[in-house]
A and B are shown apart, each in its own frame.
Chain A
Amino acid sequence: MLTGSLLPGMFFGIVYSLGSWLNSGNMWVSLLAVIVYAVLVVVLITVFDYMFGWAERKIMAKAQSRHGPTKVGKYGILQNLADLIKLIAKSNYAPRNAKKFIFSFTIVLMLAISIFIILLLPFSQSLTVANLGFGLLVIFVALAFMPIIIFINGFASGNKFAAISAERSVVMLVSYEIPLLIIIASVAMLSGSYNLVEIIAAQAATHWYVLLMPIGFATFFIAMLAEFERPPFDIREADSELIAGWLTDVSAPYFSLALFIDYTRMFLGSLVITMLFLGGWSGPGLLPPIFWLLAKSVAIALVIIVIRATMVRMRLDRLLRIGWMALLPLALVNLILTFIIFVK
């Protein structure tokens, strides 16, 4: 089930990168290299998602003075695997009102897109499938599809809670997307490029951008929390109001995919934050660059998990207000300050 739905992700990655490989050397060798790379990245994502899932349960348990999973495997590390098997073993059911194909296909599509974006990310100077000149923009264009897919899925499920959740996802999109793009523009302005490899090289040459534009970092972090539906912005799937939001009628096998999407997006978010603000793979150099990249991303992911344990959910209209009254002005201030101090 799981690997079956990963295939579309790899497919997207391969199709996309074909273009850049067709005119460089032997096509077949490059194609093979891309496939191997894609498989490796998918394995990496799976491992990290799994560990995030476990870490989230353990950290939440610690924060709540519980033990969390302890029985299955050492420190309960196999608990999520057991849960996954249980979920996959359940029957797949779609409500009568649901548009069945769209309902299930959109979830697979979301997973494919989030994996596709991670495939496009460079993992070190040379470890990249396609060193895209406008890589940063491509990532955020692909990310902007997510709420729209959720919107489609919400209405396809024929459930009123899912429909409300779908409406919310579009309103949320309006509130955080613009500040996000403005911050990206200031990052590009500072580094002089939309290419992620060059952005990281520019940070290694000067300072990490978190030091150069702290306002931008804070704004970006908050907007990314909203982008990836992490608490306190889990407004779309607010479990105490909308039961599970757009996932209300999604049955177990697809629900396991949805969980997988959640963690993949969290991984993606922490990778992007690391690359744009924390110097990506630049580090003391004792260990390979990819280690530093992943270590920083994991640290960011842990911060996101701790935020989940301590924050109350924000209301939709409040998020809209914060997006327009706080995040947008801050992003603009950051852009102007960056221009005045560093660029001019």
Chain B
Amino acid sequence: MVTRINVGPIHPSTHGVLRLVVDVDGDTIQSVEPHVGFLHRGVEKLVENRMYMQSPTYMEKLDYIAPLAYDEAYVAAVEAAQGAEVKERAQYIRVILLELQRVASHLLWLGTLANDIGNFFTLFMWCFRDRDLVLRLLEDVSGSRMFYVNMRIGGLKSDIPAGFEEKTLEVVSYLEKRIPEYEKFLEKNPVFLERMKKVGVLKRDAAIELGVTGPVLRGSGIGWDTRKDKPYYVYDKLHFSPQIRDEGDCFARYKVRMLEIKESLRMVRYAVKLLPGGDAIGLPIKLIMPAAKNRISKVSRETPRGEALMYLVADPQRPYRLAIRAPAFINLFALSELCKGERFADMFAILGSLDVVMADVDR
């Protein structure tokens, strides 16, 4: 007998306001249909009615787990439209901040994943404790703990404060000790491995067909990483390699993100070492933009959730149109494919492994 269950939009583990209509036969899932749009704010339209540099604050709310990633992507799109160059020191600092943001985002994901599969808040609290160290670093730079709005055309709002490098290296070496500890906590636990391995397998071809990006794609054995394949800023100088696992199951996606945290920490360490001197401050926010050089600019960025594309059609004063390819939106719709034939309890492990942010999905 097939039962139709309505999960959400208010439910402990739908990561926000996601509604899933699930058909289960006993404990086996027949179909899952995600219903989205509960958090739709019309950001793309709002941007059309604002000056260029009034919009980053909206962009940050797109993905409140990793605000800086969208902030940077939008500003980069505007820069591409204006034809503005980013100062070299600012490029390094942007990379450092973005990678720190990726670490913070992945730590939050790890905690919520552990919570979804039933580890009652233990790992969640540990991850939040460690994430806060990273947030404090970002706060030191921007003055705000969650929404930074730290990017300006051609540079940053504020340069890094004195002593930031040492503090960063301290946090990086602390986290480099912590992350293996969490891996041990989970991977030595046979119950965790049983819940994650061979669950929600996304085949290579299906991954391409569904258009998933980011760790979900790399967990299916495809090494596409915008930072490597369409390098921006100084990523090509940092000698990193995208993390790939071939299995395509929840464990592979988990492992890819864990490896990415380590890789990002290594990159931060290296970038801090290479950090050049000079000026990193961008144009003041109130400065009226000169006429746009390129009418259309396309910028794709590797956010913690996947590849975000900013498609900006520029008018002199305001954007004519901004279209955003939200990685979480496209990754979320792999859920119905992944859940077919799995157990009801596994749906939440799979959803957790996709790492969706509903604000990003609904825009």
Contacts and interface: CB of A to CB of B under 8 A. Distances in A.
A and B pair up:
yes
Interface of A: 60, 63-66, 160-161, 163-164, 167-168, 231-232, 234-235, 238-241, 243, 308-318
Contact of B119 (A66, A161, A241, A313): A313
11 contacts: A60-B122, A63-B122, A65-B125, A160-B6, A232-B118, A235-B345, A312-B117, A313-B195, A314-B118, A315-B195, A317-B27
Interface in B111-144: 114-122, 124-126, 129
A63 B125 CA distance: 9
A308 B122 CA distance: 9
B344 A243 contact: no
Given A65-B126, A311-B191, A315-B346, A240 B121 contact: no
B121 A64 contact: yes
B118 A240 contact: yes
B12 interface: yes
Nearest to B11: A243
A238 B125 contact: no
A63 B126 CA distance: 9
A315 B5 CA distance: 19
Contact of B344 (A63, A65, A241, A318): A241
Nearest to B114: A312
Dominant secondary structure at the A interface: loop
B3 A160 contact: yes
B340 interface: no
Contacts of B13: 240-241
B121 to A, nearest CB: 6
B122 A315 contact: no
Contact of A315 (B26, B126, B185, B194): B194
A238 B186 CA distance: 19
B3 A241 contact: no
A315 B116 contact: no
A315 B345 contact: yes
Contacts of A312: 114, 117-119, 186, 189, 191-192, 195
B343 interface: yes
Contacts, number: 92
Given A64-B122, A312-B118, 13 more contacts: A64-B126, A168-B27, A239-B120, A241-B345, A241-B347, A312-B191, A312-B192, A313-B119, A313-B191, A313-B345, A314-B195, A315-B343, A316-B343
Contacts of B126: 64-65
Contacts of A311: 118-119, 189, 191
Contacts of B329: none
Contact of A239 (B12, B125, B344, B347): B12
A226 to B, nearest CB: 13
A21 B285 CA distance: 89
A65 B129 contact: yes
A316 B345 CA distance: 8
B348 interface: yes
B168 to A, nearest CB: 23
Interface residues of B, number: 35
A231 B118 contact: yes
A66 B125 contact: yes
Q: Which of A231, A235, A315 has the most CB of B within 10 A?
A: A315
**Most chain A CB inside 10 Å of its own CB: which residue of B24, B118, B186:** B118
Contacts of A234: 118
A60 B120 contact: yes
A135 B144 CA distance: 65
A240 B125 contact: no
Contacts of B12: 239-240, 243
Nearest to A240: B13
Interface string B127-166: 0010000000000000000000000000000000000000
Contacts of A168: 27
A309 B124 CA distance: 11
Contacts of B194: 314-315, 318
A231 to B, nearest CB: 7
A315 B120 CA distance: 15
A311 to B, nearest CB: 6
Given A161-B5, A241-B344, A313 B118 contact: yes
A99 to B, nearest CB: 19
A317 B117 contact: no
Contact of B343 (A167, A240, A243, A317): A317
B215 to A, nearest CB: 20
A163 B3 CA distance: 11
Nearest to B124: A64
B122 A310 contact: yes
A231 B120 contact: yes
Interface string B334-347: 00000000011111
Give the one of A60, A64, A168 with max B CB within 10 A: A64
A222 B85 CA distance: 64
Nearest to B119: A312
A228 B348 CA distance: 24
A314 B348 contact: no
A232 B195 CA distance: 12
Interface string B12-52: 11000000000010110000000000000000000000000
A241 B14 CA distance: 9
B189 A240 contact: no
B328 to A, nearest CB: 19
A119 B6 CA distance: 42
Contacts of A160: 3, 5-6
A213 B125 CA distance: 38
Contacts of B120: 60, 231, 239, 308-309
B129 A313 contact: no
Contacts of B3: 160, 163-164
Nearest to A61: B125
A232 B115 contact: no
B255 to A, nearest CB: 16
A241 B345 CA distance: 6
